[in-house]
Amino acid sequence: MEILTDSPVAEIRIANGRAQGVALENGDEYSARVVVSNAAPGITFRDLIDARHLPETFLGELGRFRSKGSAFKINLAMEQPPRYRGFDPQVAGIELPAYAHIGPTTAYLERAFDEAKYGGYSSKPFISPITPSLIDDSLAPAGKHVVTLYGGVAPYDLEGTSWEAEKDRFVQIVLDTMEDFAPGFSDSIIAMDAMVPPDIERILNIPGGHELHGDCAVDQLFMMRPVPGYADYRSPIRNLYQCGASTHPGGAVSCVPGHNAAREILSDWRSRKPD
Ligand SMILES: Cc1cc2nc3c(=O)[nH]c(=O)nc-3n(C[C@H](O)[C@H](O)[C@H](O)COP(=O)(O)OP(=O)(O)OC[C@H]3O[C@@H](n4cnc5c(N)ncnc54)[C@H](O)[C@@H]3O)c2cc1C
């Protein structure tokens, strides 16, 4: 088996209502009896397939799939791990936590969402800082650390302004919030890479930059993910399957969508002759 990386797909080739393979952006073509996509549905069904191959009702439902993200991620190289004001090693029984949550009260979380509800970003964001180098010292040079800050709320669309104009200010707000809870945090930064939803959209090719490919809300889960009628990893095109975060049970590094898709593909494979 050969695994190709850095090989963007330009088109899923379809004939007689059946997926036949893929064409890469570099012009290479691959024939296949089954095509399985973990790309976001906006990519699989809008960018890679000509609309004439898909039912209008399916495309209409897909158009209503909410996929605008509101999470930020900041990756940092640090001199030291965060040392939280509120963390007591005696009580916890460990020197430092590798995983923390900054969101001290439900009112704090509510206010963070309120600002986003009206087209802004949180002036007091909630943050999950993670320091994996406390557990795995191969992740950073001796004595140094890597920290990721994941949190919100940083909506894809900002009212009356843009992330180009606001990103530096928002990143400073996140760092100031860290400083409030872990004094000395900013002085310890060696290097930083910050992402808001338009960056996630660009880097991962997820329309809307939603880190889970789409909202995990009750109307977009279970038998409605990504759309009713096609929530079983199949698609309107025979031999084309979906296996990504936009299928049940949704995003996160669970591998469950891929596992379930493989089960359905094998079931179809065994119950009918391959085309
Ligand atoms: C910033 C961030 C932080 C996260 N933090 C966590 C976390 O802490 N814990 C957790 O459990 N989950 C986390 N997640 C969510 C988790 O990473 C995703 O839910 C999971 O990776 C989804 O896997 P997937 O294979 O379905 O899709 P993806 O990982 O999105 O993979 C889809 C792939 O398709 C590729 N692709 C798109 N278009 C094409 C094309 N035309 N040709 C070829 N390839 C293409 C993309 O480049 C991408 O690599 C995070 C996600 C993000 C973005």
* Per-residue model confidence (pLDDT) at position 272: 78
* Per-residue model confidence (pLDDT) at position 27: 98
Give the closest residue (by CA) to ligand 1 atom 15: 252
Q: Domains (ranges, CATH) in the chain? A: 9-66+213-271 (3.50.50.60), 72-204 (no CATH)
Q: Cβ distance 32 to 20 under 8 Å? A: yes
Give the closest residue (by CA) to ligand 1 atom 2: 211
* Per-residue model confidence (pLDDT) at position 203: 97
Best mutation site among 6, 212, 221 for ligand 1 pocket (most ligand atoms within 8 Å of CB): 212
The burial of 64, by beta-carbon neighbours within 10 Å (0-12 exposed, 13-18 middle, 19 or more buried), is given as exposed
212 in ligand 1 pocket by Cβ < 6 Å?
Answer: yes
- Ligand 1 centre to CA of 150 (Å) is 15
* Per-residue model confidence (pLDDT) at position 275: 60
pTM of the model: 0.94
Q: Is 77 left (phi over 0), alpha (psi -120 to 50) or beta?
A: beta
Give the closest residue (by CA) to ligand 1 atom 16: 252
240 in ligand 1 pocket by Cβ < 6 Å?
Answer: no
Q: Cβ distance 34 to 200 under 8 Å? A: no
- Ligand 1 centre to CA of 245 (Å) is 8
200 in ligand 1 pocket by Cβ < 6 Å?
Answer: yes
- Ligand 1 centre to CA of 244 (Å) is 8
Best mutation site among 147, 156, 205 for ligand 1 pocket (most ligand atoms within 8 Å of CB): 205
Q: What is the pLDDT of residues 127-178, one digit of tens each?
A: 999 999 999 999 999 999 999 999 999 999 999 999 999 999 999 999 999 9
Residues of the chain with pLDDT under 50: none
User: How many angstroms from the chain centroid is the CA of residue 119?
Assistant: 21
- Ligand 1 centre to CA of 82 (Å) is 27
Rounded Cα distance, 205 and 198, in Å: 10
Among residues 2, 52, 4, the alpha carbon closest in space to that of 24 is found at 4
* Per-residue model confidence (pLDDT) at position 114: 96
62 in ligand 1 pocket by Cβ < 6 Å?
Answer: no
